[in-house]
Amino acid sequence: MALLHMLLGGLLLCSSLHTTCLAATARSDTLAAGEALGMGEKLVSSNGKFALGFFQFQHQVPATGNISKSPSTVTTTTSSPGWYLGIWFNKIPVLTTVWVANRERPITDTEVKLAQLKISRNGNLVIILNNATSTKPSILWSITDNIVVNSTSNTSAVLMSTGNLAVIPNTTASNPAVAPLWQSFDYPTDVGLPGAKVGRNKVTGFSRQFISKKSLIDPSLGSYSVEIDADGVLLLRSRKPPFVAYWTWPSGKLGELVSVLTALLEMDPRTKGLLKPTFVDNDEEVSFTYTLLDDSSSIFVPISITGQLELNVWSQATESWQTVYAQPSDFCTTYAVCGPFTVCNGNTSPFCGCMEGFSQRSPHAWELDDRTGGCARNTPLDCIASNTSTARSADVFHPIAHVTLPYDPRRLQDATTQSDCAGACLRDCSCTAYAYNNSICSMWHGELLNVNQDDGNGIVSQDVLYIRLAERDYQSMVKNNRGISRLVIVASTAGFGLIMLMLLLMFRRNRSMWCNAQLHDMQGTGGGIIAFRYNNLCRATKNFSERLGGGGFGSVFKGVLNDKTIIAVKRLDGARQGEKQFRAEVSSIGLIQHINLVKLIGFCCGGDKRLLVYEHMPNGSLDGHLFKSNSPVLNWNTRYQIAIGVARGLLYLHKSCRECIIHCDIKPENILLDASFVPKIADFGMAACVGRDYSRVLTTFRGTAGYLAPEWLSGVAITPKVDVYSFGMVLMEIISGTRNSPQVHTGNSYHVSYFPVQVINKLHEGDLQSLVDPELQGDFNMQQVERVCRVACWCIQDNDFNRPAMDEVVRVLDGLQEFDIPPMPRLLAAITHCADVSSM
């Protein structure tokens, strides 16, 4: 499965750009020698799809300067520093530029009335200021910055139907094979259109690359680029020292990228049959491009201000650009995307925030999506260097827990304790932070970059960063926190009383509770959820001494209540992460009752403690019975009943709650078994709720490798079909009794024994017996095995539209409906092909 995620993680994708400009009078697609294009005029391509003219970037921001205000907030319009000559989509109401000529030299308001685009006497394409009082017009931009045009050339500028602006000899009309003297496709800005290349000429060294713009109103050279380097590696990287490549696709593997990208495009109805990606690697060049197969569609591929590549498709139905794919899918992967002294969290909006004791260096720039300036200290550090290479300082350290540590640490070997590490940092006036983890002292000098906060959707980092603050800022922060704590205590006390009162009233009324209710609405059909005291849970679990298991969010312990009821107590670690999973679990499973869902008995939220109390599952989780050699073998009938039970649990989540619950992390580890091996779906910490009025929800990446639907890795909105895909993968493991994807990696080749591919192949061949777990020794129902195989193969189809809903799955497993043999998913076929090629 690692190969699947390596391939999916390497999608070449892109981001949209919106602008505003003046209305312009349309002309032909050609600017001939002696003609001029001025303000209020535009060239239009022969197919009417693209236009070229002068425009100004504009963006609306809240008048208060607070970007968190509601859409109804009064806004003001911020304009770009000047005017630009560029190309945009001509027929789309959301004006979207795809190329800018003078991105580093805007035309001022006083110059714009005099600005003209002309073919000069020597055949050069130029922007001039045609001032009647001046004998020699000023040249503001010229293609001779990039290429020398023969002075005897008689040329024209043509806006092609592809959006490419080309300077061609007038003799080209009689000989179309003559190459342009210059074309905008060779000098792209931040956007790649169909037919434009990103790549490198091996003979001349000429490189075509996309460079992000600086902000929403400033198209000048931004912080990130996409290119193919001299070694043939496709990469996204920062443009400022130290030139970090934060996303790459290795040399020699770009052919695999094409096959996988083709499969992914074909599985999405918005791009099916629409695009054809192409990779070229010969003696002359190495390049990547894509072809548009339907000229009536509009697509563009930019690198965004935040360094992401996105594939955008125009939706006529919604009259908006839709981002089909995005890489990297997590904003925080991009190097220094939030600037210095910030914390990035891809699960929040906005995803950048200042560290404690710091404020935005330029709030205006942040409003325009340019956050690379980061944050600045509210109060300078109090540090005076001395002649003894030490310093006197009253500064203090503030911890930031569960973060990835900043870029470029310096290790201090002599510091063997945390106290030594902190002292060494204080004695150095340039030291801004330290960390002491796993007996290693790390220090940072100057700006702190790439501090990313765990968003609760992956493995929780145990690293703690200690940021250096002036004592005055620290004391002010402590005082504010105390005030907030008092308010929280008062509010919590009042709120808890209100919760209990409402629970009592609802219990008396015996209302049916819904799955998306808030904490004060929680009650199951069998009685109210219990609010436990922390001390009582300590006694019940013998001070958390018998650990049943755990994961990224914390640990689970066995306990016994006073009435001898055996319980499982999940203790959520880390105040922030614990709070997030606590709310997710309570809001999704706190009010629902189903035989195939684990029952939440109660909770504890005293102080910073967050604990959830569940019914105890004596037979543990499904993975222990399938994959561990020391566990008793589950017979086929038990496995089949587990499959049906999990399907019914998912059907209830998707169809029977007021809001659809998407579990987002279905895997054997999250399927618990009671004393009778009845399956219970557990661990709702990643769950997402979707209103019945919506079919999709846009959420951050979550789940477990090996069970992730392809759309997770595309950065697009998801549906309940992501659970269907994961369920299909679990069915495969129930059949075989092993993990789906054992593999051996040798050098640059993968020898993949990918079980889902085997299942589909065997299903088509009519030979399923070899797929079944040999531990069953042939004791299984072949008709049920075939039924499960067909269901599993339909569940893991690339396109979520082709996957069945869970009500269909339940009917098939119950024998009330039949599925035909499904096709091989294109993505699996591509992976199989790549594996076969690499093993030759």
* 8 A C-beta contact, residue 436 and residue 418: yes
Alpha helices in 469-601, H assignment, sequence order: 471-509, 534-540, 575-589
Residue positions counted in the chain = 840
Strand 25-26 relative to strand 41-44: parallel, antiparallel, unpaired? parallel
- For residue 3, CA distances in Å to 255, 286, 371, 752 come to 15, 24, 34, 8
How far is residue 467's CA from residue 392's CA, in Å, rounded to a whole number? 18
Cα separation, 469 vs 398, in Å, equals 7
Q: How many CB atoms lie within 10 A of CB 25?
A: 9
DSSP string, 812-840: HHTTSS--PPPPPPHHHHHHHHHHHHHT-
Written as six digits, the tokens of 312 are 């955008």
| 284/301 Cα distance (integer angstroms) | 25
Under 8 Å between Cβ of 796 and 824: no
Residues 6+ apart with CB under 8 A from 633: 625, 737, 773, 775, 776
Rounded to whole angstroms, how far apart are CA atoms 670 and 675?
Answer: 16
Is 202 flagged in the annotation as binding?
no
- What sign for the dihedral angle of Cα 398, 401, 403, 409? positive
What's the start-to-end Cα distance of the chain, in Å? 20
Q: Are 470 and 381 in contact (CB under 8 A)?
A: yes
What is the distance between the alpha carbons of residues 707 and 740, in angstroms, rounded to a whole number? Answer: 10
Tokens 């000559």, located at residue:
85
Q: Which position among 428, 454, 463, 665 bears the catalytic label?
A: 665
Instruction: Say how far apart CA 513 and CA 658 lie, in whole Å.
Output: 9
663: helix, strand or coil: coil
CB-CB contact of 53 with 85 (8 Å): yes
Give Cα separations from 345 to 51, 465, 716 (angstroms). Answer: 39, 15, 18
Measured CA to CA, the distance from residue 164 to residue 52 in angstroms comes to 10
Long-range contacts of the stretch 778-786 (C-beta < 8 A, 24+): 779/635, 779/636, 780/636, 781/636, 781/637, 781/640, 784/636, 784/640, 785/636, 785/735
Buried b (16+ CB within 10 A) or exposed e, 572-604: bbbeebbebbbbbbbbbbbbbebebbbbbbbbb
Contact 56, 23 (CB under 8 A): no
Nearest-angstrom CA–CA distance, 568 and 571: 10
Owner of token pair 């003297």: 181
Q: Which of 532, 539, 535 is nearest to 496 (CA)?
A: 532
| Number of Cβ atoms within 10 Å of the Cβ of 65 | 12
Helix (H, G, I), strand (E, B) or coil at 225: strand
**DSSP category for residue 129:** E
DSSP string over 443-504: EEES-----EE--SSSPPP--EEEEEE-HHHHHHHHHHHHHHHHHHHHHHHHHHHHHHHHHH
Q: Is 131:165 a contact under the CB 8 Å cutoff?
A: no
Rounded to 5°, angle at Cα 361 from 358 and 367: 115
Q: Establish whether 521 is a catalytic residue.
A: no
Task: Tell me the binding residues for ATP.
Answer: 570
Task: Tell me the binding residues.
Answer: 570
| Catalytic sites, residue numbers | 665
